[in-house]
C-alpha cells in the first residue's frame, strides 16, 4: 500500500503521522473527539466501544504524560490495557523490535500504542503487521524520534479549533526548538492541511531546520517580530536530551531572547491563545505568569488530548483491516 495507515476503502487502520492524513479524516477525528468530551463529565466515565479489546502501551522511550493519557483514553473506552516499559525488558536482552511485537501480537493484542527513539519505527511495525496480521492489529504512533507525534498534533488542532473555530483565518507562531521537535512537524503538517494561511517558526538559527521555508513556513529569529499579530502561540520544550553540542549559550540566555513573557505576549493579538505540549521548563521557554495566565490553554490541551486519543482508538477499532 502506498500509505500504510489508510486501507483501500479509505479507512484509517493505523495512526502513524499527520502527514498523509486527508483533511476529511482529520476533521472526522476532531468531530469524534468532541462527542467524547462529555464522557469526562459523567459519573461513570466509560463507554463500551472497546470492551473485550486489548490495548498494549509499548514504550521504548519514557513518557509519563503521553502513556498516562493513552491509558486513560483506552480505559474510558472499556479496553483492557497493558503497560510495557520495553526499555527495561525484552529488547535489553537482545530481542529484536519485530520479535517483541510478534510475541505481544500472539497474546491477542488488538492495538499497539508505540513510542520509540528511532524515526520511522511505528511505520516499520505497521507495515510488518499489515503483512502478518492483515492490518487487523492497529498501531498508534505515540512519538518516534524527531519524526512525528500525530496525536499531539491532533489534540493541538482540536484545541485551536475549540478556541478559534476557523483555521483559514489564523496566524500561528511555533516558538523554540523546532529542530528536535516531532510535535512541531506534526503541527505544521496539520495546520497546512487544514488551510491555515500563515505558519511561523520562531527561534535561533541553531534550533530551526533548514527546510522549513520549503514547507511553507515563515522563519523569524526575533521573537517580537515573530509574535506580531498572531492568533496562536505554540511554545516548545528545549529538548536537551536530543541536542549534540552547545546549540544555545545557556538557558538564561535562551529565556532572555525566546522565553515567552507578559511583555513579549503583548506583541500578539489581545485574544491570542498560548499552548505548550509539556512538560514545560518554566523560566526557560515560558514565564509562569504566562503559563498560568488567562491566555494559556495548556491544561485544556491535556483534557482535550484524552478525547482525541479516544477518538483515534474508536475509529481504528471500527476499521476492517488492510483490504477494507
String of DSSP letters for 293-315: STTB-HHHHHHHHHHHHHHHHHH
249 marked among binding-site residues: no
23 marked among binding-site residues: no
User: What domains appear along the chain, each with residue ranges and CATH number?
Assistant: 23-149+304-317 (3.40.50.1370), 151-301 (3.40.50.1370)
28 marked among binding-site residues: no
324 marked among binding-site residues: no
What is the reported pTM? 0.94
211 marked among binding-site residues: no
The answer to whether 317 and 49 have CB atoms below 8 angstroms apart is: yes
The answer to whether 317 and 34 have CB atoms below 8 angstroms apart is: no
| Mean pLDDT value across residues 28-43 | 91
| Mean pLDDT value across residues 259-288 | 96
Q: How confident is the model at residue 318 (pLDDT cuts 50, 70, 90)?
A: very high
Integer distance in angstroms from the first to the last C-alpha of the chain? 12
| Mean pLDDT value across residues 210-227 | 95
Better-scored residue on pLDDT, 97 or 198: 198
> What is the per-residue pLDDT for 242?
42
Handedness of CA 17, 20, 219, 199 (dihedral sign): negative
93 marked among binding-site residues: yes
277 marked among binding-site residues: no
Handedness of CA 113, 116, 120, 124 (dihedral sign): negative
Question: What is the H or E stretch that residue 116 is in?
Answer: strand 111-116
115 marked among binding-site residues: yes
Percent of the chain with pLDDT over 70: 94
Amino acid at each position: 500500500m502506498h500509505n500504510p495507515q489508510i486501507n483501500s476503502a479509505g479507512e484509517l487502520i493505523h495512526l502513524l503521522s499527520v502527514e498523509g492524513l486527508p483533511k476529511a479524516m482529520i476533521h472526522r477525528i476532531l468531530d469524534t473527539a468532541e462527542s467524547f468530551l462529555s464522557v469526562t463529565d459523567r459519573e461513570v466515565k466509560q463507554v463500551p466501544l472497546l470492551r473485550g479489546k486489548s490495548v498494549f502501551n509499548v514504550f521504548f522511550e519514557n513518557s509519563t504524560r503521553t502513556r498516562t493519557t493513552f491509558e486513560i483514553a483506552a480505559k474510558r473506552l472499556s479496553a483492557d490495557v497493558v503497560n510495557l516499559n520495553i526499555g527495561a525488558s525484552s529488547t535489553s536482552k537482545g530481542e529484536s523490535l519485530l520479535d517483541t511485537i510478534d510475541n505481544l501480537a500472539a497474546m491477542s493484542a488488538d492495538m499497539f500504542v508505540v513510542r520509540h527513539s528511532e524515526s520511522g519505527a511505528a511505520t516499520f511495525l505497521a507495515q510488518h503487521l499489515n503483512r502478518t496480521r492483515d492490518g487487523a492489529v492497529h498501531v498508534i504512533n505515540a512519538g518516534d524520534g524527531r519524526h512525528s507525534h500525530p496525536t499531539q498534533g491532533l489534540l493541538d488542532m482540536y484545541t485551536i479549533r475549540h478556541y478559534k473555530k476557523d483555521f483559514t483565518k489564523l496566524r500561528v507562531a511555533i516558538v523554540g526548538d523546532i529542530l528536535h521537535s516531532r510535535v512541531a512537524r506534526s503541527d505544521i503538517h496539520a495546520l497546512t492541511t487544514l488551510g491555515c494561511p500563515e505558519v511561523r517558526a520562531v527561534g535561533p538559527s541553531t534550533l530551526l531546520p533548514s527546510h522549513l521555508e520549503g514547507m511553507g513556513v515563515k522563519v523569524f529569529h526575533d521573537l517580537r517580530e515573530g509574535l506580531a499579530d498572531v492568533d496562536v502561540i505554540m511554545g516548545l520544550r528545549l529538548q536537551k536530551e536530543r541536542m549534540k553540542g552547545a546549540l544555545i549559550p545557556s538557558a538564561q540566555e535562551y529565556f532572555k531572547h525566546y522565553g515567552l513573557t507578559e511583555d513579549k505576549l503583548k506583541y500578539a493579538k489581545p485574544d491570542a491563545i498560548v499552548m505548550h505540549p509539556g512538560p514545560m521548563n518554566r523560566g526557560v521557554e515560558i514565564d509562569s505568569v504566562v503559563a498560568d495566565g488567562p491566555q494559556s490553554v495548556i491544561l485544556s490541551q491535556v483534557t482535550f488530548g484524552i478525547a482525541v486519543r479516544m477518538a483515534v482508538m474508536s475509529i481504528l477499532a471500527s476499521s476492517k483491516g488492510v483490504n477494507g
